Amino acid sequence: MMWVLVTICIAALAALLGQRLLKLSEIALANREVPVKRLPNCQLLKNIEYGAEDFTILRDGLAIISTGLKYPGMPSFSDDPGKIYTLDLLDPRLIPVELTIKGDLDRDSFNPHGISVYIDETDKTIHLFVVNHPQHYTSQVEIFLFVEEDNTIVHLKTIKHDLLHSVNDIVAVGVESFYATNDHSYPSAVLHMLAVFLGLPWADVVYYSPGGVKAVGDGFLSANGINMSPDKRYLYVSAILDHEIAVFEIKKNKDLVHVKSVAVGSLCDNIEVDQVTGDLWLGCHPNGAKVAVYDPEDLPGSEVIRIQDIHYEKPVVTQVYADDGSVLIGSSVAAPYEGKLLIGTVYHKALGNVTNPNSAIVSGCPRTLL
């Protein structure tokens, strides 16, 4: 009788294991392939060789770019510290400019991830918020003052908190206040992978201010990109492993109320919001297994998705760009500006689509650019 019970238990565990492995394959979109859909008049940006994981575009067309991320579980092709660049999208040459970092910051361990800016309306100063992983699995938020005329960022403050244990992205709402996503349920990668394996949605969104810190949104297997509507009433969060964008209403006490989720059919990373139309632009991974493993013979692809009318009953979800990895590997962020489209990646290059074909490589960024 004992052997019968043991056999039943082993069979049940094997069935559970098989079911969860199948589910993980579905979560990673491991069998997904997307047809190539490139844009004309585009070029790979100079100086960006090891990723442009996130960026934000100011109203004057100046993009601030986070580069050189070394993220646990992802490939990395450089041991150099991360850097912050600017890119003038009104300049047809599209040449990134490295910013000088001043102040009390360990530059050797600088490992920037998600970024956001807050413009103080009282004096128009620009505060740059950067998620930093100085020891890979650690997370902290750096606040800088951006001095555009000097191409400089001055370090003002480092923020650490137990609730900010696995920060991926950030959206600033004050000179020292922000919402942030934790992409892990636990600081421990092993415990997080166990939670994902078991389907436990324990990753969350955290609100930080000098007056207090609190978890304000949960129910995520992994919370990734985050951004805010132009009227500052709604927060958008990428539930990357659920292939959805979650929409939250922001309450007066900074708590979040879930409004809806919009299916996007891809593993979408960072979210950028068009400040005029309110459209969401998403840098996505069409196949998560490929982007994590990185096989030179079967390269990870890239995908850009746009969501229009997200607050309507039937939002319009459109694929704008798709590549099989022969041009752009592992897209993580995308945004338009006056007819141009800028696309960043986790650990590869960055791509700009330009309006003047005489100033850039044309015909959809041919493979020879690599």
The residues carrying an active-site annotation are 113
Element (H, E) at 20: helix 2-27
224 in a labelled binding site: yes
Q: Which residues contact 24 (CB under 8 A, 6 or more apart)?
A: 196, 197
Q: Can you tell me whether residue 358 is helix, strand or coil?
A: helix
Q: Which two tokens stand for residue 367?
A: 């493979």
Report d(CA 257, CA 240) in Å as an integer: 19
338 in a labelled binding site: no
* DSSP at 253: T
270 in a labelled binding site: yes
Report d(CA 282, CA 272) in Å as an integer: 7
Q: Which residues contact 110 (CB under 8 A, 6 or more apart)?
A: 81, 82, 83, 101, 132, 134
279 in a labelled binding site: no
Q: Which residues contact 248 (CB under 8 A, 6 or more apart)?
A: 205, 217, 234, 235, 236, 237, 256, 257, 258, 259
168 in a labelled binding site: yes
Residues contributing to the annotated binding site: 53-54, 115, 168-169, 224, 269-270
Residues contributing to the annotated binding site for Ca(2+): 53-54, 115, 168-169, 224, 269-270
